[in-house]
Amino acid sequence: MTVRSVVALVGLALFSPGVARAQSTAGAASLQIEPSARANGMGKAHVAVVDDAVASWWNPAALAFMTESQATLMHSQLVPGLADDVFYEFIGYSSSIKGLGGYGVNLIYLTYGKNIATDFSGQVLGEFTSYEVVPSFAIGTKLTEDIGLGVNFKFVWVDLAPAAVTQDGHDGRGTTVAVDGAALWRIPRYRMNWGLNFQNIGPNLAFIDEDQSDPLPRNLKLGVGYWALVQDGHRLILSADLNKPFVRKDDGPLLNLGSEYNLGEYLAGRFGWVYEGWFSQIEPINGPSFGLGLHYKGFSFDYASVPQAPDLDRVSRFSLNARF
């Protein structure tokens, strides 16, 4: 089995949801999976409303307005019913820096599970685990009282197969670096935010040489958030994101719509819509997302259900968050 065969197999196994699917020729699938059950429940429309420990991923400029320390964990099994050992983990922490803004660190771990390598005759060469690891560090600072800027620096490690199980004897391993550049404009008078984030700017991911490299899933997010209701323990947020991938020339824009209703301090309900139909060359993901949040004394548990490809089951996200 060659490294390229492994790449193809794990790519088919993942069926990356959301923006990932429109960027199917990109490397580093872990960069394409959206963290936070809250964000997923809101239809993945989150670049202008994020305010917690996933800000470094969604919009590092939001760190400029951080006033407390926060931590988050997210788990998701990616292809339920097909591969039980293909899952995604996200751990993040953010805090404020007095007089400067805020910072965030996070770690992404994506495993494709165990694989068995065979030669062309069917003889077993060995067993191995394919995975990706992406640590990152982000910082955000205020340009004005209501405008923040932020950057997120990432190191990308992809390990698809060791040399011992590849036919040509090359490691199926690749590394690269990437950076996100973001901005957030808050308009308190109108209870509105505007956000943008240009993600994954960096060199291609090469496994053997640059001639066989894969582009990173470069993507521009532009979003708006509107606090439609804020009174007497009730809060309603409406959000919309427009994503423009920059991998293939025919990648069209992707639309995400979301909402969140908070009843008092303890309960939140979320609903959104994921739509990839514009200029899509493949059958698009088009369907609702929904979620629920439970909050108590600085802790919250969030659940979301999001659509995948039409022939795959919906996927669930689970998050645990703490503010302190």
pLDDT in tens, 35-54: 999 999 999 999 999 999 99
pLDDT on residue 23: 44
**Residue in the block written with tokens 């200029």:** 279
Share of the chain above pLDDT 70, in %: 82
Q: Give me the pLDDT at residue 71, please.
A: 98
- Each residue of 51-71: pLDDT tens digit? 999 999 999 999 999 999 999
Q: How many structural domains does the chain have? A: 1
The token pair that represents 181 in the structure block = 């550049």
Per-residue confidence band for 8, with pLDDT thresholds at 50, 70 and 90: very low
pLDDT at 13: 41
Q: Six-digit token pair at 321?
A: 């968050």
Alpha-carbon distances, residue 64 vs 4, 59, 221 (angstroms): 42, 10, 18
> What are the pLDDT digits (tens) for 192-213?
999 999 999 999 998 766 667 8
* CATH classification at residue 165: 2.40.160.60
Q: What is the mean pLDDT of the chain?
A: 86
Contact call for residues 175 and 155 (beta carbons, < 8 A): yes
Mean pLDDT of 290-294: 97
Strand, helix or coil at 313?
coil
Per DSSP bridges, beta strands 172-187 and 147-161 are antiparallel
Rounded CA separation 139/8 (Å) = 35
Q: Name 183's Cβ contacts closer than 8 Å, sequence gap at least 6.
A: 61, 147, 148, 149, 150, 195, 196, 197
What's the gap between Cα 67 and its chain centre? 24
Paired tokens of 44: 């993945």
Give the domain extent around 40. Answer: 3-323
